[in-house]
Structure 1
């Protein structure tokens, strides 16, 4: 599959209106790609869901691969608005050769909590969760995975592996370091991917407000406990 070219933008006069139309198309596409997959979502259906004429999609994105890439880019852009401050703080902590073990642990916990805030954010999370689930399941265009990996997952994984490595005294690429990092993040992914099951077991209507803070408090305590136990092994 050829990589689509970057989407077009309108001239200065219609920029605001053009960006609004483009965003409507992306939101509609994320929803339909999540519900029906790339193969099952037609450009005509995406345009209809967005309330625009079908040629508008070709104008902004050229084809369905182009709008799929734009969906991945938009998801990353929105995620980084929430994640970037905690990510930058964690990177600064790692650069500090004199950073204490407690500071390294708290940097890891802060990143976890920020991810949780993103996962539990109300609004369009259902569509994005389905988009992610299909992308992770395979069979969707590789360009989406490439965008998510290069712009979001790789930087996050690198920082988190480096934090675990510094805390435990192991190498970043040590399989034990990687498995430990993945297992700690899995604490939140269960609430994100298996949302309905977790809500049913807890008897909650949603994970927000006090419920979200409760989950974050429990997971943060578990993470600190694990990191401190592995630190003592070093």
Structure 2
């Protein structure tokens, strides 16, 4: 008796259909997890929204947590397409002997990618809620571990290292980490407090023009702070450099 398990995708057309079905389930699940949270979204509702039968979820993902992890992995893959280039560039800059302007530009590139990502999600409220719930610690920890290891850790480490170089402090110093995180946090507050932002500014929606006004304002503030910290670093280093340049007076 042949007990070998049949492959899930035996033909190219079958594989394509399988991938399309898998993608449809992930899209539906991400919306429902955003709306109702992990506990509130049922596998039956996910299957219904995806237009598949309930056993399809078990076939592709084993269980609901598997579906949730697949959502996280898909979102991380998508996000890394945006964040990967500036983070990789920052790592190269940090490995060399870059000047202050280059270090600041590298940080600004990371922040620009964050801004683009944040305001892209503004028009996808369920995705915004998805990450808000995950950040609040309400969702499976295994999913947060995926985000942290593949996305947040490299992004935050590069950002803190850049701020450290710019300010003349260790990248792992608590003040350096707080500075880096708070600079990026300027954007996150508009992403999270979406309704409050619209109310305070009297806007009907977060259209491209309004989003650009926020981004340009945050860019200017960020650059100003980074340049200020660099100036403070140079001011502290100036006396030491002057002392080294003055030759000791020889006694006759």
TM-score w.r.t. length of structure 2:
0.85
Deviations along 1:14-69, whole A, 9 cap, x unmatched? 11111111111111111111111111111111100111111111110000010010
Q: Tell which structure's C-alpha radius of gyration is larger.
A: 2
**Hey, what's the Cα distance between the residues in 1 that align with 2:94 and 2:155?**
13
* Greater mean alpha carbon deviation, residues 211-220 or residues 44-53: 211-220
- Corresponding residue number in structure 1 for 2:187: 188
Deviations along 1:54-108, whole A, 9 cap, x unmatched? 11111100000100100110110111112222222222211221x1101111111
The answer to whether residue 150 in structure 2 is matched with residue 151 in structure 1 is: yes
TM-score w.r.t. length of structure 1:
0.92
**Hey, what's the Cα distance between the residues in 2 that align with 1:205 and 1:122?**
17
**Hey, what's the Cα distance between the residues in 2 that align with 1:47 and 1:73?**
19
Give 4+ residue runs of structure 1 displaced > 4 Å after superposition: none
Shift of 1:211: 1.8
**Hey, what's the Cα distance between the residues in 1 that align with 2:154 and 2:15?**
32
Unmatched tracts of structure 2, length 5 or more: 1-6, 234-252
Question: For 1:1-234, what aligned pairs fall within 5 Å after superposition?
Answer: 10-13=9-12, 14-97=14-97, 99-121=98-120, 125-234=124-233
Unmatched tracts of structure 1, length 5 or more: 1-7
Report 1 or 2 for greater relative contact order, CA contacts < 8 Å, sequence distance ≥ 6: 1
Question: SS of the residue aligned with 2:171?
Answer: coil
**Hey, what's the Cα distance between the residues in 1 that align with 2:9 and 2:202?**
49
Question: SS of the residue aligned with 2:120?
Answer: coil
